[in-house]
Structure 1
Amino acid sequence: MGTARYLEIAEALRGSILGGEYPVGAQLPSESDLADRWSASRGTVRQAVAVLASEGLIGSRQGARRIVLRHERRHSFAELNSFAQWADSQGYEVASRILTRERRPATPTEASRLSVPTGSAILHVLRLRLLDGEPAMLERTAYAPWVAPAVEELSEDCSSIMNSIAGTHDIVAHYGEHLIDAVPAGSVDARMLRVRRGSPLLRQRHVSSTATGRAIEWTDDRYVAGSVTFSVSNSSDTAPLSRHAGQLDG
């Protein structure tokens, strides 16, 4: 059986889990039963099951029948929602902790994204985000100088910075541009997210702007693999999605 075969089985099992055939807490059939169902070797089935375990949909314990841990956490880009707004709307328990908050000169990339001169005094915030008590994302955000004072007022456990500054200072994000790729976990990422150094992380970078186009933040969010699935809907009636290889800045 080739690679396509185990991915085909993984996709079918994923569909059964997300479709409710195997609810959270249910056991999957044994490897031998799954092998019989798909007329595949146990090794191929084991590879398929490992894919779902790496995504966090099922338990990773070897030797026992796997338990369904959760359904897919899907975050759509159709609406400009904060991490906390999205988590609350889906019924997940969300928590946040600001680890560092410092004023420093903007890097060239930060300055370009925030439309300020290089070296401008931006506020850089490192924040850990948790879903259902587990580390899910490490967030590095550069706030434009005009936004920095509002963010500095907030408590370390503020669940949503964007919601808070919208309510207290009428700083509201109306536009967002997102860049998505994958990066290996560095030492800080690995320690904070409880993964091995070099583990793949899903990186989402985005700039948020006001209704007048004034930049608010430029953020680099790094998600534990399998913690969140991003979805994008499109049609032939709207502008086509663009794909750019090798053109993302560091």
Structure 2
Amino acid sequence: MSSRYRQLADELRAGIADGTYPPGSRLPSESELALRHGASRGTIRQAFALLAADGLISSRKGARRLVTQAAPVQSFSQLHSFSQWAASIGETPGGRVVSLVRRGPTELEAERLGLDPGARVYHLTRLRLLSGRPVMIERTAYVERVGALVGGIDADNESITLRLEELGVVFAHAEHTVSAVPADAEDARLLGVRPRTPLLRELRRTTDLENRPLEWSDDRYLGDAVAFTVHNSVRANTLIRSSVKEPPA
């Protein structure tokens, strides 16, 4: 069953989509929604965080949230979770853990995760599948408190994102950098392609509700399996991941 805050976020998202809360209007306050739904204000804040991450509402605290735009084509949570995205396009998600190790961070991981000297990370390498076909490699460094939870998840058969959120780890904000890279020897072996085959590379830094770093990931996709589209507006920018069904025009 979905977490309570996800259910509330979906209800508010539906209200934004059907015009109950049009762009420029304000959502009910945290206390109003908490009373209406019999939920804690912390749960309401988590729901607001998902809507803010999707670019639907302002993220300002201490005031009623302002609706900034209509519902986007694809939410941030779907972009972050490979399993949700795969299901949304009619594919069966799959995965295979290549390695999960606890180790010292690289210089880049330490910088992007804001780690102190002597800190450790859990580094996961996982091959992701669409209906049995290898299409992406995840290489993710988790801060230690999150990585320790990942170690107890059946990452071959469960969505790490959704399971962590059930355990109280909310992926609230993310920065994405998308570029092209040639497949190195390990990429080629795992994806079953020739070395130097062009891949789409997504670098992702994710933080929680308090903007504390959770993960730094280097994900590499087969270029004929996925595409990213950015929708720009004066109110918000939405990054959408889609499958490649036909050559671009």
TM-score normalised by L of structure 1: 0.62
Task: Quote the offset at 1:77 in angstroms.
Answer: 6.8
CA distance, structure 2, for counterparts of residue 109 and residue 158 of structure 1: 30
Q: Structure 2: give runs of 5+ residues left out of the alignment.
A: 1-72, 240-249
Matched positions, count:
165
CA distance, structure 1, for counterparts of residue 191 and residue 173 of structure 2: 29
Letter of the 2:188 partner, please give it.
A
1:216-227 to structure 2, matched below 5 A, reads 216-227=214-225
Which one of the candidate residues 176, 179, 185 is aligned to 1:178?
A: 176
Matched, 1:140 2:125: no
* Residues 155-182 of structure 1: per-residue CA shift (max 9 Å, x gap): 2413311111111x21010101001111
Task: Check conservation: 1:107, 1:118, Cα contact below 8 A.
Answer: no
Structure 2 equivalent of residue 79 of structure 1: 76
Bigger shift: residues 203-212 or 109-118: 109-118
Structure 1 residues 221, 95: CA separation in 2 closer, same or farther (over 3 Å shift)? same
Letter of the 2:213 partner, please give it.
A
1:56-95 to structure 2, matched below 5 A, reads 78-81=75-78, 82-95=81-94
CA distance, structure 1, for counterparts of residue 173 and residue 233 of structure 2: 20
Structure 2 equivalent of residue 161 of structure 1: 160
Bigger shift: residues 76-85 or 205-214: 76-85
Structure 1 residues 134, 215: CA separation in 2 closer, same or farther (over 3 Å shift)? same
Letter of the 2:232 partner, please give it.
N
CA distance, structure 2, for counterparts of residue 101 and residue 231 of structure 1: 31
Matched, 1:198 2:191: no
CA distance, structure 2, for counterparts of residue 152 and residue 239 of structure 1: 34
Structure 1 residues 106, 197: CA separation in 2 closer, same or farther (over 3 Å shift)? same
CA distance, structure 2, for counterparts of residue 115 and residue 223 of structure 1: 27
SS at 1:140 equivalent: strand
Task: Quote the offset at 1:148 in angstroms.
Answer: 1.4
Structure 1 residues 239, 135: CA separation in 2 closer, same or farther (over 3 Å shift)? closer
Task: Check conservation: 1:124, 1:140, Cα contact below 8 A.
Answer: yes
Q: Percent identity?
A: 39
SS at 2:77 equivalent: coil
Structure 2 equivalent of residue 105 of structure 1: 104
* Residues 87-132 of structure 1: per-residue CA shift (max 9 Å, x gap): 1122211101111000110111101111112552100000000012
Task: Check conservation: 2:230, 2:238, Cα contact below 8 A.
Answer: no
Q: Structure 1: give runs of 5+ residues left out of the alignment.
A: 1-75, 242-250
CA distance, structure 2, for counterparts of residue 238 and residue 222 of structure 1: 26
Matched, 1:150 2:149: yes
CA distance, structure 2, for counterparts of residue 228 and residue 118 of structure 1: 37
Letter of the 2:101 partner, please give it.
E
TM-score normalised by L of structure 2: 0.62
CA distance, structure 1, for counterparts of residue 74 and residue 112 of structure 2: 20
Task: Check conservation: 2:231, 2:238, Cα contact below 8 A.
Answer: no
Which one of the candidate residues 221, 226, 229 is aligned to 2:227?
A: 229
Structure 1 residues 191, 212: CA separation in 2 closer, same or farther (over 3 Å shift)? same
| RMSD (Å), alpha carbons | 2.0
Structure 1 residues 88, 240: CA separation in 2 closer, same or farther (over 3 Å shift)? closer
CA distance, structure 2, for counterparts of residue 84 and residue 240 of structure 1: 19
Task: Check conservation: 1:77, 1:231, Cα contact below 8 A.
Answer: no
Structure 1 residues 77, 214: CA separation in 2 closer, same or farther (over 3 Å shift)? farther
